Amino acid sequence: MEPDEKIQAAISNTFVLRFPRQQLATFGITNIYYYMVTELMPEVNVVREGRVIAARPKIITPAYLMHIEGFSGPARRYIQMAADQNPHEPGILYSYKNEFGEMSLVAEPLGSIVDNINRRIDKQSDPLSTIIRGVEEMWDVSLMKFTLDLTRNSAQRNFSELYGLGRFNIDRSGVPEDARDRIEELMDMTAKDPSLAAELVSELQRWDLWDSYQDRFLKLFRKL
């Protein structure tokens, strides 16, 4: 089976057996605890536990994306084309981190395992726990499918809330109000935690705002 066929097969055989009771937060970090159950052999299953941590959704533009590393040549050319046509058209950027925890082999049928996990979640009263049935060989693909589906389900509400508060408003420099507020937050946070200085500089450079904030940053840095 070709790699793409294996990926498609994993996607087709991934099922969420228990959904989180909350969607991705619009104005904060969402910390989802997952149980990934995959079949190793008949009556023997692998249970992986971990966390998918979703950062607060950010409003970005094609011009901003041009300053983010990690895109392939064709992908970067596409972003450039979008930036040439609508450099300040806003969109929402979601970013995630997977923190893998425990893994165990359980010699029980799938149904028994899921029942036990459900009881554990109910006892903990955690609205952000999920149970996913995935494919052993590509369990991380199964996890990514869950993550993308959760994003799609949350995006409309996130967009509506951000739009309703005017966070998509673009100033004369082509910077959304949300990004300006984020920079101010980073300024305040860096004053308390100097280790955030590099993140602040990167954010200013991605928005082409270094010249506008340079004096404030250097003054802040001298205070540190």
The answer to whether 142 touches 16, Cβ cutoff 8 Å, is: no
The pLDDT of residue 75 is above 90: no
Give the confidence band of 67 by pLDDT, cuts at 50, 70, 90. Answer: confident
The DSSP line for 39-76 is EEETTEEEEEEEEEEEPPPEEE-HHHHTT-S---HHHH
Sign of the Cα pseudo-torsion (65, 67, 69, 72, in order): positive
pLDDT 10s digits, 102-158 = 999 999 999 999 999 999 999 999 999 999 999 999 999 999 999 999 999 999 999
Give the confidence band of 224 by pLDDT, cuts at 50, 70, 90. Answer: low
Taking residue 54's Cβ as centre, other Cβ atoms within 10 Å add up to 22
pLDDT 10s digits, 5-56 = 888 898 999 999 999 999 999 999 999 999 999 999 988 999 999 999 999 9
State the pLDDT at residue 4: 78
Tokens at 163, concatenated: 């739009």
Map tokens 């991380």 to a residue: 140
Comparing 76 with 113, which gets the higher pLDDT?
113
Locate the domains of the chain by residue range. 3-56+94-163, 58-92+169-223
State the pLDDT at residue 94: 93
State the pLDDT at residue 2: 67
Q: Compute the C-alpha angle 2/7/10, nearest 5°.
A: 125
Tokens at 104, concatenated: 């165990």
The percentage of residues in the chain with a pLDDT greater than 90, rounded to a whole number, is 75
Residue 202's Cβ-side half-sphere holds a number of Cα atoms within 13 Å equal to 10
CA distance 62 to 79: 6
**77-91, 145-159, 187-201: least confident range:** 77-91
